[in-house]
Chains A and B, each alone.
Chain A
Amino acid sequence: MSRVMSSPVARYAWLAATLLLLVLLPLTDSATLINVATKCLIAGLFAMGFNLLWGQMGLLSFGHAAYLGIGTFATLHMMNAIDEGWGLPAPLLPVLAGALGVVVGALMGWFASRRTGIYFAMITLAVAELTHVIADKWQGFFGGEAGVRSIRTDWWLFGFQDATSVYYYCLVWSVLLVIALWALLRSPFGLLMYALRENEERVRFLGYRTHSIKVVGFAVSAGVSAVAGSLMAFMNESANASMFATLTSAEVVLNTVIGGSAVFLGPALGAAFNTLFGYYIGGLSHFWLLYQGLIFVLVIMYAPGGLGGLFSGATRQAREGRLAHHAPAYAVGALASLLIAVATITVVELVGTVMGSSYRVLRLTSGETWPPVSLWGIDWHPLGIGTFTFVLVLIGAGTVLLRWAMASHRQALDRIGSET
């Protein structure tokens, strides 16, 4: 977690503003937006749970889909039970699902935490694959291809029949859990978890049972993930075994890295970013997963702190009055990235279209010529000089600008280094 604290006022101002925005969001009255925002909340909570293991304890899990899925299916079955007349208050569903997640997580954590590093990751991966195979085949519980369906039941004064009420339901749960996580990280136990990551040997010498600390961490992490799964069940009212696939486990890693695992809310930020990205860019392009993968690799290579790291770095510079030094480099860097991004997108979209089956038909009907492709409101000739020039000029200019920005950024850092 971030050991660099920003000033309390600035911190809480950001938080309060974000929270206010989230609370007021349903005023937009756009069902789509509210639905996407709900997905952001759930993915964010899942990533926060995942990052308790990674960010705090340095344990990389490649199998968190299992705990998300357990929460989802447990909740679906409980919702069906309510529907059949069991007197189970709806708001309690995440509590029960979370408790189940904690129990399963403690068990799996007990095994996985006996190893560290890559071996830990491999155990979590094996557990998740195992769960996936079982979920796939065990139709009685997981419902096979069709999956399990259920419906939300109203409770007391609360009706859950519209997107807004589901959104608030998820918001309340997410905020509560994030606060609980925050408190946990700042508790003596949270510090122990962090110390474990830095120097396990020393923590052991101090007389702590490090394995137990890891098991508790794993259990809490799985529990939070199961709550996220429960919210997902509540939102979608259905699920099938495909949610246990490796892709789900991979997504939470992606979200956390892009958001930044060293900043408390970084994973939530990354999850929101990727969810919005998937929704809006996914609507515009078939190839959005490729763009997401490219962003991921760029973050790994050039901004290992993720979006959260960039954000907290910039606010720190602003507070120390140094942002002005860096502003030109940042602006030029952003421009350069934009140019390179436009060039990349152009190439990908043109290639993707030209290789597609509908274009093949077009070519056949046009007598084996290369009909133009429309993109950004312009007609591009796939093999035209103009297309190549456009792409090369953009990439060339972008590279030059980017190099300049990086050099100037480094100079600014050196200048500050020599002043202090």
Chain B
Amino acid sequence: MVMDYFLVSLLNGVIYGLMLFMVSSGLTLIFGMMGVLNFAHASFYMIGAYIGYLCSLHLGFYAGLVIAPLVVGALGVFSERLLLRRVRPQGHTHELLLTFGLFFIFEEVIKVFFGNFAVPYQVPAGLDFAAFSVGSIEYPFYRLFIGVVALVMFVAILAVLQLTRLGIVVRAAVHRSDMVAALGHNVPTVFTALFGGGAALAGLAGAVAGAFFPTSPTMASDLGTLVFVVVVIGGLGSLSGAVVGALLIGVVTSFAVGLNVSLASLAASLGLGDTLTQMGGLFTVSLSSLAGTIPYLLMLLILLLRPSGLLGERS
């Protein structure tokens, strides 16, 4: 029973982590290249989910998996080219604030079109069955589907970055964009492409995950801070760091949800009596509630002890 729970949580965590990576990879590369932390990045994930929903109503679920990344990628290119680039001369703070404003606007525009509550974006019937069962737990196939899509994207991202010339240029520009420019590469255009590509990936993640998790206007802010945690833990600008950070956060959050014990009951089971229960306060809060603090505690520790992140190379 404990073993079953462990296996299922681990699988859920890894799959969620892979999905977090799809959203974080663009964010961390964009930061590495231009020093912009894009607040609106998680909005691309939300918009992807809504476009997936629209497509599932009119064109079918699978069409959404193609259209959502395309539309969201175009939106990313548009935002970078027409808005972000204009405030670049005024410095990073202005860019940050602009993305912050975009985050706000995207959420509200979604509300204008789809209302304040979740929309019924459903897993298509063909994918809605149990893949296998672990003990008494039926494991939904769609979760595996999310995992496979994320894994394929993961391999694709790494292949593009490692093997293509564009990927090599991006990786170089993340470290020294001025030298890349001096060697004849149009860095602003490469950056626009990267911004669009990152947005498209986030959009795809949204279209896939939105069918399983709720598709609502708050999904950007729900995911947004978590994605920041991922890229900070991995090291801003570091792709391999994003992998590690995403899997770590995915697994941690997945395990934390199921832990239904409090510090006080833990102490009691260790024979320390009811002192902590009587003290009340934070000690009686169940650990699963406090587990929500783990990502932020990790993030704080990293920022204070090793701001370049677990795998980041720059200080």
Residues of A within 8 A of B (CB): 60, 111, 114-115, 117-119, 121-123, 125-127, 129-130, 133-134, 136-141, 246, 250, 253-254, 257, 287, 289-290, 292-294, 296-297, 300-301, 304, 348, 351-352, 355-357
Known pairs A130-B296, A130-B297 / 20 extra A-B pairs, C-beta < 8 Å: A111-B300, A114-B304, A117-B92, A119-B303, A121-B37, A123-B300, A129-B296, A133-B293, A134-B290, A136-B292, A137-B289, A138-B285, A140-B281, A253-B97, A257-B97, A287-B111, A290-B108, A290-B109, A293-B105, A297-B105
Interface centre among A115, A122, A294, A356 (most CB of B within 10 A): A122
- Map CB proximity to A onto B106-139 as digits: 1 under 8 Å, 0 otherwise: 0011011111000000000000000000000000
Residue from B100, B104, B282, B297 in contact with A138 in the complex, judged by beta carbons closer than 8 Å: B282
B112 with A141: CB separation less than 8 A: no
The distance in angstroms between the C-alpha atoms of A352 and B108, with both chains bound, is 11
A-B contacts, 21 listed (Cβ < 8 Å): A60-B93, A111-B304, A122-B303, A123-B300, A123-B303, A125-B225, A130-B297, A130-B300, A133-B290, A133-B292, A134-B293, A138-B281, A141-B281, A254-B104, A287-B111, A289-B104, A289-B111, A296-B104, A297-B98, A304-B87, A355-B114
Given the known interface contacts A301-B86, A355-B113, the answer about A250 and B307 at a Cβ–Cβ threshold of 8 Å is: no
Chain B residues lying within 8 Å of A294, measured Cβ to Cβ, are 105
Question: Chain B: interface secondary structure?
Answer: helix
When distances are taken between beta carbons in the complex, the residues of chain A under 8 Å from B273 are none
Q: B100 to chain A: which residues have CB within 8 Å?
A: 250, 253
Q: Is B83 an interface residue (CB 8 A)?
A: yes
Cβ of B276 to closest chain A Cβ, rounded Å: 13
- Contact assessment for B304 and A123 in the assembled complex, using a CB-CB cutoff below 8 Å: yes
Q: Chain B contacts of A290 at CB under 8 A?
A: 105, 108-109, 111-112
- The minimal Cβ–Cβ distance linking B303 to chain A, given in whole angstroms, is 5
Q: Is B90 an interface residue (CB 8 A)?
A: yes
CB of B31 to closest CB in A, whole Å: 8
How far is B100's CA from A269's CA once the two chains are assembled, in angstroms? 21
B225 x A304 contact (CB < 8 A): no
| B10 interface contact, C-beta 8 A | no
Is the CB–CB distance between A300 and B108 below 8 Å? no
Question: Which chain A positions have C-beta within 8 A of B87?
Answer: 300-301, 304
A137 to B113, CA, bound (A): 33
The answer to whether A297 touches B101 (Cβ under 8 A) is yes
Cα(A296)–Cα(B37), bound, Å? 18
- B277 contact set on A, CB distance < 8 A: none
Interface residues of B (CB under 8 A from A): 31, 35, 37, 83, 86-87, 90, 92-94, 96-98, 100-102, 104-105, 108-109, 111-115, 221, 225, 228-229, 232, 236, 280-282, 284-285, 289-290, 292-293, 296-297, 299-300, 303-304, 307
A355 & B299 in contact (Cβ 8 Å cutoff): no
- Docked pose: A253 CA to B98 CA in angstroms: 12
Q: Are B96 and A60 in contact (CB under 8 A)?
A: yes
Alpha-carbon gap, A356 to B115, bound state (A): 7
B297 CB contacts on chain A under 8 angstroms: 130
Residues of the A chain whose Cβ atoms lie less than 8 Å from the Cβ of B108: 287, 289-290, 293
Contact yes or no, A130 B293, CB < 8 A: yes
Which residues on A sit within 8 Å (CB–CB) of B94? Answer: 300, 304
Shortest CB–CB separation between residue A346 and chain B, in angstroms?
Answer: 13
Chain B neighbourhood of A352, CB < 8 A: 112-113
Partner of A351, one of B112, B228, B296: B112
Q: List residues of chain B with CB within 8 A of the CB of A111.
A: 300, 304
Q: Please, how many angstroms separate the alpha-carbon atoms of A351 and B111 in the complex?
A: 11
Separation of A125 and B224 alpha carbons in the complex (Å): 12
What is the CB-to-nearest-CB distance from A281 to chain B, in angstroms, rounded to a whole number? 13
Query: Judging by beta carbons under 8 Å apart, are B83 and A301 in contact?
Result: yes
- Interfacial chain A residues near B290, Cβ < 8 Å: 133-134, 137
How long is the Cα–Cα vector from A60 to B285 in the complex, in angstroms?
Answer: 33
| Least Cβ–Cβ distance between A62 and chain B, in angstroms | 9
Indicate if the CB atoms of A287 and B102 lie closer than 8 Å.
no
Given A137-B285, A351-B112, residue A293 in contact with residue B104 (CB < 8 A): yes
Contact across chains for B282 and A297 when beta carbons are under 8 A apart: no
Is the Cβ of B83 less than 8 Å from the Cβ of A297? yes
Bound together, the chains give a CA A141 to CA B281 distance in angstroms of 7
Query: How far in angstroms is the closest Cβ of chain A from B251?
Result: 18
- Known contacts A140-B281, A293-B104, A304-B94; A119/B115 CB under 8 A: no
Chain A hits for B35, CB < 8 A:
118
Q: Smallest distance from the beta carbon of B280 to chain A beta carbons, Å?
A: 6
Cα(A133)–Cα(B286), bound, Å = 12
State how many angstroms separate the Cβ of A332 from the closest Cβ of chain B.
Answer: 22
Return B30 CB to nearest CB of chain A, in Å.
Answer: 12
Given contacts A119-B307, A138-B281, A357-B115, A301 and B299 within 8 Å (CB-CB): no
Cross-interface CB contact of B97 among A119, A127, A300, A356, cutoff 8 Å:
A300
Residues in B whose Cβ lies below 8 Å from that of A355? 112-115
Q: List chain A residues, Cβ under 8 A from B93.
A: 60
User: Are B299 and A126 in contact, CB atoms less than 8 angstroms apart?
Assistant: yes
> Which chain A residue shows the least CB distance to B224?
A246
Chain A CB within 10 Å, residue with most, of B104, B232, B297 = B104
- B83 pairs with A351, CB closer than 8 A: no
> Are A118 and B37 also in contact (CB < 8 A) when A60-B96, A138-B282, A290-B109 are?
yes
Closest 5 CB pairs of A and B: A290-B108, A293-B104, A297-B101, A137-B289, A293-B105
Rounded to whole angstroms, the CA-CA distance of A234 and B40 in the bound complex is 36
Contact B112 A348 (CB under 8 A): yes
Contacts of A297 in B (CB 8 A): 83, 98, 101-102, 105
A257 cross-chain contacts in B, Cβ below 8 A: 97
Closest to B291 in A: A133
By a CB distance below 8 angstroms, the chain A residues around B282 are 134, 138
- Does the CB pair B98–A126 fall under 8 Å? no
Pairwise interchain contact B296-A133, C-beta atoms closer than 8 A: yes
Residues of B within 8 A of A141 (CB): 281
Rounded to whole Å, the gap between the CB of A68 and the closest CB of chain B is 18
Bound together, the chains give a CA A137 to CA B229 distance in angstroms of: 21
Q: Which of B96, B108, B292 has its CB near the most chain A CB atoms (within 10 A)? A: B108
Residue contact B236 to A118, C-beta cutoff 8 Å: yes
Q: Report Cα–Cα, A117/B315, bound state, in Å.
A: 13
Complex CA distance for A140 and B283, rounded to whole angstroms: 11
B113 to chain A, nearest CB (A): 5
- Cα distance A41–B303 in the bound complex, in angstroms: 35
User: Hey, which chain A residues are within 8 Å of B228, CB to CB?
Assistant: 122, 125
**CA gap between A201 and B94 in the complex, in Å:** 23
CA gap between A133 and B113 in the complex, in Å: 31
> How far does the Cβ of A353 sit from chain B's closest Cβ, in whole Å?
10
**Cα separation A137 to B290 with both chains bound (whole Å):** 7
